[in-house]
């Protein structure tokens, strides 16, 4: 069995890291998926969204409340990733945080983020509308994007890469992981949400690889979606609960 680095000994920037066996890598991936599905999928999308809708409907205050619920969930996810990295004597930089990337990848990320925001507003909402909830949700949204990115594009893709998993499998796996829990909205499963999320987040994984496995491009695209798209984006979750009846 391959041994992880001892706690407290971080590799030098650009230094090589030992490969992982498939069993080790997929065990780490499975643990990360379990946390994501339980915390974000179960507690936030399934239970949280339904409770917020039943209590406050689809109002702006309801969107803010569900945003705070997701913030609590993402903080758990961030803590999990930090724990797994520190357990092995590493930090976030080994997952691609702060890693140099291509300028073209950043440009693509900006265009992708803007397109994603445009699709969100195409379903309703005014991008110029301003409320006291919006600046709060803009800030929270960046944290939400950061948490998901270090867990999925960071930890999961890192483990898969280190056991020799092909790029296509990496993209499909991460797209499926995020597609599943984004498709559960309240006490209802939306296959259309799963499929669209699979495509959107799978493309973020491809962007991560094109950007030399740096978290910067996918984080820019993902954070832009929340920063420019909330509270409309969060209200969309509540509308999904409403449509399900």
Residue range of the domain that includes 152: 22-244
Distances in whole angstroms, Cα of residue 129 to Cα of each of 44, 62, 64, 139, 231: 26, 17, 15, 17, 10
> Distance between CA atoms of 104 and 41, rounded to whole angstroms?
33
Min mean pLDDT across 103-117, 123-137, 164-178 is at: 123-137
Share of the chain above pLDDT 70, in %: 93
Task: Kindly tell me if the per-residue pLDDT of 201 is higher than 50.
Answer: yes
pLDDT of residue 172: 98
pLDDT of residue 11: 40
Share of the chain above pLDDT 90, in %: 89
> Distance between CA atoms of 203 and 209, rounded to whole angstroms?
10
Total domains present in the chain: 1
Residue 188 lies in a domain: yes
Residue 57 lies in a domain: yes
Min mean pLDDT across 6-20, 34-48, 179-193, 231-245 is at: 6-20
pLDDT bracket for residue 6 (50, 70, 90): very low
Residue 7 lies in a domain: no
- List Cβ neighbours of 222 (8 Å cut-off, separation of 6 or more): 113, 145, 148, 149, 204
Task: Kindly tell me if the per-residue pLDDT of 164 is higher than 90.
Answer: yes
Average pLDDT (50-61) is 98
Average pLDDT (84-91) is 96
pLDDT bracket for residue 216 (50, 70, 90): very high
pLDDT bracket for residue 34 (50, 70, 90): very high
Task: Kindly tell me if the per-residue pLDDT of 4 is higher than 70.
Answer: no
Cβ atoms of residues 66 and 96 within 8 Å? no
Helix (H) or strand (E) holding 76: helix 60-87
Residue 126 lies in a domain: yes
pLDDT of residue 245: 74
Residue 191 lies in a domain: yes
Question: Which phi and psi (to 5°) does residue 184 adopt?
Answer: -100, 110
Residue 180 lies in a domain: yes
Residue 8 lies in a domain: no
Task: Kindly tell me if the per-residue pLDDT of 110 is higher than 80.
Answer: yes
pLDDT bracket for residue 123 (50, 70, 90): confident
- List Cβ neighbours of 72 (8 Å cut-off, separation of 6 or more): none
Taking all residues of the chain, what is their mean pLDDT, rounded to a whole number? 93
Residue 48 lies in a domain: yes
**CA angle, residues 207, 208, 213, in degrees to nearest 5:** 145
């Amino acid at each position: 069995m391959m041994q992880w680095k001892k706690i407290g000994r971080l590799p030098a920037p650009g230094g090589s890291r030992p490969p992982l066996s498939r069993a080790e890598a997929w065990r780490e991936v499975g643990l990360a998926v379990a946390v994501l599905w339980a915390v974000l999928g179960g507690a936030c999308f399934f239970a949280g969204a339904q409770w917020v809708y039943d209590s406050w409907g689809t109002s702006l205050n309801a969107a803010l409340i569900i945003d705070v619920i997701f913030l609590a969930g993402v903080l758990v996810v961030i803590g999990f990733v930090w724990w797994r990295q520190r357990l092995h004597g590493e930090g976030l930089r080994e997952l691609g945080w702060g890693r140099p990337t291509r300028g073209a990848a950043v440009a693509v990320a900006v265009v992708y983020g803007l397109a994603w925001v445009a699709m969100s507003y195409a379903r309703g909402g005014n991008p110029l509308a301003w409320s006291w909830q919006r600046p709060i949700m803009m800030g929270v949204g960046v944290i939400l994007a950061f948490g998901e990115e270090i867990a999925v594009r960071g930890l999961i893709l890192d483990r898969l890469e280190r056991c020799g998993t092909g790029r296509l499998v990496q993209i499909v796996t991460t797209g499926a992981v995020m597609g599943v829990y984004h498709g559960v909205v309240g006490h209802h499963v939306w296959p259309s949400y799963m499929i669209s999320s699979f495509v959107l987040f799978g493309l973020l994984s491809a962007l991560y690889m094109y950007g030399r496995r740096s978290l910067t491009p996918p984080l820019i695209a993902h954070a832009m979606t929340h920063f420019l798209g909330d509270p409309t984006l969060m209200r969309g979750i509540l509308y999904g609960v409403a449509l399900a009846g």
